[in-house]
Amino acid sequence: MEDCISTSALLTTDGVPLKQSLKKAERKNKLRAFLLVFPLLLFIIVTFVMPIGDMLFRSVDDSQINGVFSNTFNEYKKWDKEKDVLPPEEVYKALFEELAYGEKIQIGRALTRMNYSKSGWKSLIKTTSREIKKAVKKDELPNNYKEFLISANDKWADPTFWYAMGQMVNNTTPIYYWNALDRTYDQDQNVVMQDEKRRIYIKTWIKTLKISVYVTIFCLILGFPVAHLLANLPLRYSNLLMIFVLLPFWTSLLVRTTAWIVMLQQNGVINGILVWLGILSDDGRLQLVYNETGTLIAMTQILLPFMILPLYSVMRVIPKSHMRAAQNLGAKPATAFWRVYLPQTIPGMSAGGLLVFVLAIGYFITPELVGGKDGKLIGHWIAYHLKTTLNWGLCAALGAILLGVMLIFYWLYNKIVGIDNIKLG
Amino acid sequence: MPLPSYATPVQRTYYYAYLFFCAVVFFFLIAPLFAIIPISFSVSPFMVFTEGMLAWPPDPEAWSLRWYKNMIGDCSADVVSSTVPCSKKWMIGTVNSFYIGIIATIIATTLGTLAALGLSRPHMPYKGLIMAILISPMIVPLIITAAGMFFFYARINLVYTFTGVILAHVALATPFVVITVTATLVGFDMNMVKAAQSLGAKPMRTFFKVIMPLILPGIISGALFAFITSFDEVVIVMFMASIDQLTIPKQMWAGIRQEISPVILCMATCLVLLSIFLLTTVELLRRRSEKLRGIKAR
C-alpha cells in the first residue's frame, strides 16, 4: 500500500499534480478573502492610521524652521563654542540674508516655534527684521553683519539666545515631549524642570491617572454585586434588568452628561432632596458639579456598563454548584465566596477594570463639561493646544504619550484576558 | 437566586442588604436619564424642578411645551424668554446630524460587511493583524483621533467640510459593523454557500439570496451601532466642522457651555426616546438572528 502512494504523485483530471492544484485553489481563496477586506483596510489606513502617524511625526518634527533658516543653522553647526563666545561672522551673515529674503509667513511660523524654546525670540527677530528691511531697501548692505545685527538689537551679543538656537538646528526635536512632562532646556542644552508656575502637565497626568483609578475602583465596587445578581437571576428577570445597564449604554454621552449637571448642580435634584429631607440647610448646599467630585460621579455612571458587561459574561458561566460544594465541605459563606467564587471572576474583573481604566484616561467630553477648573484631564490640554494656542507640536506630543500609555494597557488587557485563569496568591 | 429556607438571620440581613445595594446601583444608572424628562416640560427657564411641578394636586401652570416649540424653531411670543435664545439652530443641527449619520452609516455598513465576510473566511491571511488595524479606531481615545485627523485633513484641505466629518465618522463606525457582522457569521453554516454554488448560483446571487437574508439582523444591528456612533459624536465635529456646520451634539455642547437652557433637555428627552427605540430594535434583531442560526435562547 505504502509504495503505491510514493511511486507516483496523484494527478487531477487535467494532469496537474493534486498538491499543486490544491495550493492554487488555496491561493485563490486567500486572495478572494483578502480582496473583500481590502477596501476597508485601505480606507482605515488612509483615514485613520495615517492621521495617527501624522500626529506622531508632528510631535518630533522641526523641519519647518530648518527650511527657513537652513544656511544659518548650517553655519551655526560649525561654531566652536569653546573657542568663541559668539558665533562667527558667517552665521550672522546667513541670518541676515535669510531674514531679508525669506517668505514672511514662513518666518512668522518659525518665530512661533522659536518662542517655545526661549521667550523673547519673537520680539528680537521682529525688531531686527525691521532694521534689515530698511538697510536692504536703501541698498546698503553692511560690511560687518555681526556689528550690524548687534547694533539693531543688542541681544544678538547675548550668548544665551545663541545657545537656545542650538535646540532647533536639527530636523527632529524632543522638545515637545520634554514640554509635555514639564521640562525644558537650560542654556547649556541640559533638560531641566520648568518654572514652578508653568508646571501644569505632570500635575494633570497624575490627576488623570488618579481619577481613572478611582473611577475603576468605584465601577468595580458598584458593578460586582449587580453583575452577580444579573448572572444568577433566571433569564426572564435578568433580561429585563439588563435594560437598566444597556439603556445608558445606548444613550448619547452628552445627554448623560447633561443629566448629571441637572442632578448635581446647586439647585439640582440631589441637593433639593437633601434639603427637603432636612440633611442640609438651604444655604449649606453641596458643590457637587464643576469640580473633581462631579467628574468622578458622572464618569463612574457613564463607564459602569463597561464593567458590568464583561463581569456578567464571566459570572454567567461559573457553575452555581461550586459555592454549594464549598459550603458542603464546611466553608462559611464568606470563605466560600473568597476562596472559590472570587478567584473565578478575576478574568472578568481584569477585563472590565482595564476597559474602564483605558476609557477613563482618554476621556474628554464629560470632564470638560462637568469638571470645572480642577476636574479637567489631559484631554483638555490636547484640545487647548490644538485649537487655542496652535502649539501643534506640544498637542501631538501629549497625544502620543497618552496613546503610548493606552497601548501598554491594551497590551496588558490582551495578555490578561487571553489567559483564562489567574490564581490569587 | 432565592435565599434558602435554612438561612440564618445574619445571612438574611446580608442578602437584603445586597439586594438593596443592587437596587441603588440600578437607580444610579437609570435615574439621571429619567430625571430630565419632566424638567423639559417645565415653564421655568432654569433646569430645575420648580415648586409648582412638585405641588399636589398638579399645577397646570407649571407645565408647558414652550421649550419644545423653541426647539423646533417656533419663536412666537409665548415661547420667547429673555435668557433663552430662540433660533432654528436645533433644527439645522438635526438635519445635519441625520445627513452625516445616514451617509456615514451607508458607507460604513457596506465596507464593514464586506470586510467581515472576508475575515470570517477560513483562508484569511494575517487575520490578527488586520483585525487589530480595523478595530483600532474604536480603541484610540477620540481626542487623539480628532487631533491626528485634524493635522492630516488640514494637509489635504478636508477640514471644515462635511466630507471630512463623514470620512472620520465612517472610520469610527466601521469597527462596530465589523464586530457585529463577524459575530453573526460565527456559526454560519458554510455548507449553504456550497449548496447554492453547486446548484449553479453565481457569487453575487449566492450573497443576496443565501448569505444576506441570514446575516441581515447582524448587518442591521451593525448599521444601527454605526449610526448612533456618528449621531452622538461631538469631538471630531467640534474640530473638523466649521462654526456654522451644526449638529445636535455640537449644539448641545454649546448649550451646556454657554446658555444652560431647558431646550437642551427637550433634545435630550428626544434622544433618550431614540435610544430606547434603538435598544429595543437591536435586542429584537439579536433574538431573530439567534433563531435564524438555530441557536436556542438560553
Tell me, yes or no, whether A323 lies in a domain: yes
For residues A95 and A233, state if they share a domain.
no
- Distance (Å) from the alpha carbon of A415 to chain B's nearest alpha carbon: 14
Spatial separation of the C-alpha atoms in residues A347 and A274, rounded to whole Å: 39
Cβ-nearest to B249 among A41, A47, A254: A254
Tell me, yes or no, whether A363 lies in a domain: yes
Domain boundary among A142, A166, A190: A166
Number of domains in chain A: 3
Structure-block grid coordinates of residue A88? 562667527
For residues A347 and A317, state if they share a domain.
yes
Domain span at residue A266 reads 204-418
For residues A158 and A83, state if they share a domain.
yes
For residues A126 and A73, state if they share a domain.
yes
For residues A228 and A158, state if they share a domain.
no
Say whether A369 and B256 touch across the interface (CB within 8 A).
yes
Cβ-nearest to B148 among A52, A222, A248: A52
Tell me, yes or no, whether A279 lies in a domain: yes
The strand pairing partners of A191, in sequence order, are A185
CB atoms within 10 A of CB B134: 27
Per-residue pLDDT for B105 more than 90?
yes
Let me know: does A400 contact A382? Beta carbons within 8 Å. no
Q: How far apart are the first and last CA of chain A?
A: 57
Name the region of B21 (left: φ>0; alpha: ψ -120 to 50; beta: rest): alpha
B 65-104 residues with CB < 8 A to A: none
Q: Going residue by residue through chain A (425 aa), what tens digit of pLDDT does each one get?
A: 445 455 567 777 777 888 888 888 888 888 888 999 999 999 999 999 999 999 999 999 988 888 888 888 888 888 887 787 888 888 888 888 888 888 888 888 888 888 887 778 888 888 888 888 888 888 878 888 888 888 888 888 888 888 888 888 888 888 899 989 988 887 677 788 888 888 889 999 999 999 999 999 999 999 999 999 999 998 888 888 988 899 988 899 999 999 999 899 888 888 888 888 888 888 888 888 888 899 999 999 999 999 998 899 889 888 888 888 988 898 888 888 899 999 999 888 988 898 899 889 988 999 999 988 887 889 999 999 998 888 899 999 999 999 999 888 888 877 766 543 332 22
Let me know: does B272 contact B193? Beta carbons within 8 Å. no
CB atoms within 10 A of CB B76: 10
Average of per-residue pLDDT across B253-263: 82
- By C-alpha distance, the chain B residue nearest A393 is B151
Say whether B125 and A246 touch across the interface (CB within 8 A).
no
Per-residue pLDDT for B1 more than 70?
no
The CATH 1.10.3720.10 domain(s) of chain B lie at 89-292
CB atoms within 10 A of CB A328: 10
pLDDT tens, position by position, B146-160: 999 999 999 999 989
Chain B positions touching A248 (Cβ under 8 A) are 29-30, 33
Say whether A258 and B234 touch across the interface (CB within 8 A).
no
For residues A214 and A261, state if they share a domain.
yes
For residues A91 and A36, state if they share a domain.
no
Tell me, yes or no, whether A172 lies in a domain: no
Here the CATH number for the domain that contains residue A216 is 1.10.3720.10
Q: Is A257 on the interface with B (CB under 8 A)?
A: yes
C-alpha atoms less than 13 angstroms from C-alpha of B18 in its C-beta half-sphere:
16
Q: How many CB pairs under 8 A join A and B?
A: 257
- By C-alpha distance, the chain B residue nearest A300 is B29
Q: What is the pLDDT of residue B129?
A: 85
Q: What is the CATH number of domain B89-292?
A: 1.10.3720.10
Say whether A40 and B117 touch across the interface (CB within 8 A).
no
pLDDT tens, position by position, A108-135: 888 888 888 777 888 888 888 888 888 8
Let me know: does B267 contact B38? Beta carbons within 8 Å. no
Q: What is the pLDDT of residue A214?
A: 96
Q: Provide the 3-class DSSP secondary structure of residue A245.
A: helix
C-alpha atoms less than 13 angstroms from C-alpha of B231 in its C-beta half-sphere:
21
Q: Is B265 on the interface with A (CB under 8 A)?
A: yes
Chain B positions touching A376 (Cβ under 8 A) are none
For residues A85 and A210, state if they share a domain.
no
Domain boundary among A117, A143, A166: A166
Chain A positions touching B6 (Cβ under 8 A) are none
B 127-156 residues with CB < 8 A to A: 130, 133-134, 136-137, 139-153, 155
- Among B152, B233, B256, most A C-beta atoms within 10 A, so best to mutate, is B152
pLDDT tens, position by position, A222-254: 999 999 999 999 888 888 898 889 998 889 999
Tell me, yes or no, whether A160 lies in a domain: yes
* Residue owning grid cell 464549598: A326
Burial B233-246 (b: 16+ CB within 10 A, else e): bbbbbbbbbeeebb
